[in-house]
Chain A
Amino acid sequence: MSAASDLSVALRDFSANVRAEGRSLILRLSGNADMAAKDSLDSLLPRVHAEAQRISATEVQVDFRNLEFMNSSCFKSFVTWISEIGDLERSKEYKIRLLSNPEMHWQRRSLHALRCFAVDLISVES
């Protein structure tokens, strides 16, 4: 796996880290993904995408359960990432599983919108 520092973000109010589990990656997000997190997320998600392809991942789990909020700029970073997966050859595609927290009410609508954007690639779990 790429160096952990390449696949992690630690800001004052936002953090993200990635770990591998077999042919899956688990991206865990915590805190508040607002404007302060945007640049970090913009640079992290392409690296996650590259790592997923490097290990021929079948799935990337994105754990939103400790994410208090995500603004539209950070949401766009995910939209771009999902679009990039959709642009891969079918044999190189991998699935994305979004782990949500029902107590973070914004997630129900936002993650549903992401899922509808690529229903063949994305599933949402509470």
Chain B
Amino acid sequence: MTETPTAFELTFQPNVELISIVRRFLSDFYERMIEDHDTVSRIALATHELLENAVKYASDGATFLSVTFEPGGTSSTVSIRLMNRANAEHIAAVATIFEEMSLHDDPFGHYQIAMARSAKRKVGSGLGLVRVRAEGEMTMSHTIEDDRVTILAQTTVTARRRS
């Protein structure tokens, strides 16, 4: 098991093709530290969705991604942090989604509600962040400072045992 925190940071301009490449890279990155393939998969999914969300709405094109793996005594914590500048409309939309998430204790139940609403939507899915919470099994929070949106998704994992 890794004894010290392991971090990965990336800043890039919007390019949707990059996102899947980053997801594959991060899957390899997580595989080195996490025993369970299913856990690696849900973290990779969460990273992909958060990146897409940020890239789609970044007002100046730049998206900052930070991934940190912090080993602990009995478990480890993975933190995925995405930061981008956004316009007022997107900032309001993010705030609304987080407000809604706070009203639903059951992430999967909320996901089903969001899916029913999404089925009739003409623009966007409205599912990305909700999916991160439900399928990625992430604890999520966000901060807004001026036009900067930061989303933090965290999960606890069992680290790879030392061989």
For A69, give its contact among B48, B112, B115, B128 (CB under 8 Å): B48
> Complex: how many Å from CA A105 to CA B135?
11
**Interface of chain B, main secondary structure:** helix
**Are A109 and B19 in contact (CB-based, < 8 A)?**
no
Write the chain B residue with the least CB distance to A73.
B125
Q: Is B16's CB under 8 angstroms from A106's CB?
A: no
Interface string of B39-52 (1 = CB under 8 A from A): 01110110011001
A6 within 8 A of B: no
> Which residue on chain A has the smallest CB distance to residue B23?
A69
Residues B131 and A72 in contact, CB atoms below 8 Å apart: yes
Would A105 and B108 count as touching, CB distance under 8 A?
no
Contact A80 B20 (CB under 8 A): no
Q: Could you tell me if A71 and B41 are in contact, using CB atoms closer than 8 angstroms? A: no
CB distance from A104 to the nearest CB of B (A): 8
> B91 interface residue, CB < 8 Å from A?
no
CA of A117 to CA of B37 in the docked complex: distance in angstroms?
A: 26
Please give the number of chain B residues whose Cβ is less than 8 angstroms from any Cβ of chain A in the complex.
31
Structural contact, B38 and A79, CB atoms closer than 8 A:
no
B162 at the A interface (CB under 8 A): no
Stretch at the interface among A20-28, A32-40, A57-65: A32-40
- List, in ascending order, chain B residues with CB within 8 A of A67's CB: none
Apart from the given pairs A71-B49, A72-B127, 18 other A-B contacts in the complex at a CB distance below 8 Å: A34-B19, A34-B48, A69-B23, A69-B45, A71-B48, A71-B52, A71-B128, A72-B49, A80-B119, A83-B116, A104-B41, A105-B40, A106-B42, A106-B44, A113-B135, A116-B108, A117-B112, A117-B115
